[in-house]
């Protein structure tokens, strides 16, 4: 949310700077072979052959030993020889820098201007989304918004928090909605036998609640028809007031965000997740952004491996692996996430075109759905604030994390604009 500067996040910058001045800006921790004396990681004792990651069929032992081979580079402006991260067996092909969507726009003309995006088209190879095809489900999951509530934020902006259930997991996924015109069809659908108070309690009302309000503002015609009422999004009519049904001039800004307890709650400087969440909310709240915004907050902690496994991955990172290698060493895919729920939630919120805040090409294609139910018309890059000289934080860990995302996961961020130490 247009969240205030976290004191702890700011403090990390100073501490880090003292500790890491000697490191090159693109420093990325290297792995050690699994049999390194300092390593706590052991190769599979029961196995006589090489250990392979089930998803990638990559020989993990081989990967670890390859990663210890140094590559050297001499900076033009530095006299010391420094080591680059290891070459990767996993790197997807880079998007050529000149293709649409591959640029990293990092200048905003005015503080309150809407963020600049670049057009993308996932249907063509040169469309700025790489060439990898994510695995998609044949059909989208069913989602239901069960409750929504107004949340005034500490910066004065208001948003509506929508809580969803679905038919593929039992987690509470969220949509954080900025702007009064974006409404959930499944929430607004009248439910059999409910009263006006019931509707207001679950958030299916127009405008604002106030003490003594007695009607939800949404037509109860279908409700009155009794038994035939359904929560299906397609059969509902609502009577939203004029300001809520105003036409959108352009697609809303959308961020598909995956849960990160460490980065969002525990002040971690290992990743930029907390900053990205704050920045997405700030951009969506800018006065110049009249098309509103949606943060789809998916409960796929640790790129889908869960918090416990992510913490193990952090220990492996402290032992020298990068973020991809750590996942593979734990026998997980580099990225275990899916985005079908996000697609279904966006459709429920009435969106078929979005401007997506991301650097991740996989996300663009995946959120569009198996039949391109949604179209990502623009990509708005999430450039770390410290790269733009606009605050944020720096740490050796986050720079290694971002560098690995660029080099191994095809993230569309221009490493050349990463500030040097
Ligand atoms: N396994 C693992 N997960 C991590 C690590 N650091 C952060 N994460 C998780 O990575 C996810 C961050 O994903 P997003 O914020 O959606 O970002 P992204 O897919 O990297 O792409 P962007 O849209 O460009 O930000 C969260 O689920 C974090 O918990 C790590 O070192 N290992």
Domain coordinates of the chain in residue numbers?
7-140+248-417
Pocket test for ligand 1, best of 258, 300, 321, 361 (most atoms within 8 A of CB): 258
Domain 7-140+248-417 has CATH 3.40.50.10990: yes
What pLDDT score does 130 carry? 72
198 in catalytic set: no
What pLDDT score does 218 carry? 83
Which atom of ligand 1 approaches the CA of 362 most closely?
19
Cα–Cα nearest to 176, from 266, 273, 254: 254
Query: For all residues of the chain together, what is the average pLDDT?
Result: 76
What pLDDT score does 323 carry? 96
Length of the chain: 421
DSSP H or E stretch at residue 296 = strand 293-298
What pLDDT score does 289 carry? 92
Residue 266 CB-density burial (10 A; 0-12 exposed, 13-18 middle, 19+ buried): exposed
Pocket test for ligand 1, best of 303, 317, 324, 362 (most atoms within 8 A of CB): 303
335 in catalytic set: yes
pLDDT above 70 coverage of the chain, percent: 66
The arithmetic mean of pLDDT across residues 376-391, rounded, is: 94
d(C-alpha 81, C-alpha 75), whole Å: 7
What pLDDT score does 232 carry? 35
**Residues in contact with ligand 1 (CB, 6 Å cut-off):** 257-260, 271, 273, 276, 300-303, 305, 310, 313, 323, 327, 358-360, 363, 382, 405, 411
pTM to 2 decimal places: 0.74
Which pLDDT tens digit goes with each residue over 186-208?
999 999 999 999 999 999 999 99
Distances (CA, A) of 198 to 100, 130, 186, 353: 48, 47, 15, 32
Which atom of ligand 1 approaches the CA of 382 most closely?
24
Which pLDDT tens digit goes with each residue over 115-140?
778 888 888 777 877 777 777 878 99
pLDDT band at 246 (very low <50, low <70, confident <90, very high): low
What pLDDT score does 220 carry? 56
Which pLDDT tens digit goes with each residue over 37-54?
433 333 333 333 444 444
Which atom of ligand 1 approaches the CA of 323 most closely?
31
> Is residue 159 within 8 Å of residue 278, measured between CB atoms?
no
Q: Could you tell me the end-to-end alpha-carbon distance of the chain, in angstroms, rounded to an integer?
A: 29
Specify which residues 357 forms β-bridges with: 380
What pLDDT score does 112 carry? 54
């Amino acid at each position: 949310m247009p969240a205030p500067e976290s004191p702890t996040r700011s403090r990390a910058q100073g501490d880090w700077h003292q500790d890491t001045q000697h490191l090159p800006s693109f420093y990325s921790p290297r792995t050690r072979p699994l049999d390194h004396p300092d390593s706590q990681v052991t190769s599979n004792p029961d196995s006589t052959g090489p250990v392979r990651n089930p998803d990638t069929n990559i020989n993990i032992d081989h990967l670890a030993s390859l990663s210890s081979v140094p590559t050297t580079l001499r900076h033009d402006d530095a006299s010391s020889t420094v080591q680059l991260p290891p070459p990767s067996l996993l790197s997807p092909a880079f998007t050529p820098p000149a293709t649409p969507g591959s640029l990293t726009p990092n200048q905003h003309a005015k503080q309150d201007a809407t963020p600049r995006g670049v057009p993308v088209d996932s249907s063509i190879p040169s469309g700025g989304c790489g060439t990898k095809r994510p695995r998609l489900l044949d059909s989208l999951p069913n989602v239901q918004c069960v409750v929504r509530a107004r949340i005034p934020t500490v910066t004065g902006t208001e948003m509506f928090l929508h809580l969803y259930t679905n038919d593929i997991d039992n987690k509470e996924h969220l949509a954080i909605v900025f702007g009064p015109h974006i409404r959930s069809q499944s929430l607004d659908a009248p439910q059999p036998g409910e009263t006006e108070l019931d509707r207001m309690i679950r958030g299916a009302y127009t405008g604002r609640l106030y003490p003594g309000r007695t009607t939800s503002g949404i037509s109860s015609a279908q409700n009155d028809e009794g038994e035939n009422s359904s929560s299906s999004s397609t059969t509902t009519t609502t009577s939203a007031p004029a300001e809520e049904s105003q036409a959108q001039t352009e697609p809303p800004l959308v961020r598909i965000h995956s849960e990160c307890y460490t980065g969002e709650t525990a002040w971690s400087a290992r990743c930029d997740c907390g900053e990205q969440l704050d920045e997405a909310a700030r951009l969506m709240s800018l006065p110049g952004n009249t098309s509103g915004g949606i943060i789809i907050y998916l409960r796929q902690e640790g790129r889908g491996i869960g918090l416990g496994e992510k913490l193990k991955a952090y220990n492996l990172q402290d032992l020298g692996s990068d973020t991809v290698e750590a996942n593979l060493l734990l026998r997980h895919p580099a990225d275990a996430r899916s985005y079908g729920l996000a697609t279904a939630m966006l459709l429920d919120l009435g969106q078929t075109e979005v401007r997506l805040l991301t650097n991740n090409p996989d996300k663009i294609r995946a959120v569009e759905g198996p039949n391109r139910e949604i179209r990502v018309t623009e990509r708005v890059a999430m450039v770390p604030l410290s790269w733009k000289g606009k605050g944020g934080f720096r740490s050796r860990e986050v720079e290694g994390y971002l560098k690995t995302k660029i080099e191994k996961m095809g993230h569309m961020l221009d490493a050349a604009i990463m500030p040097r130490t």
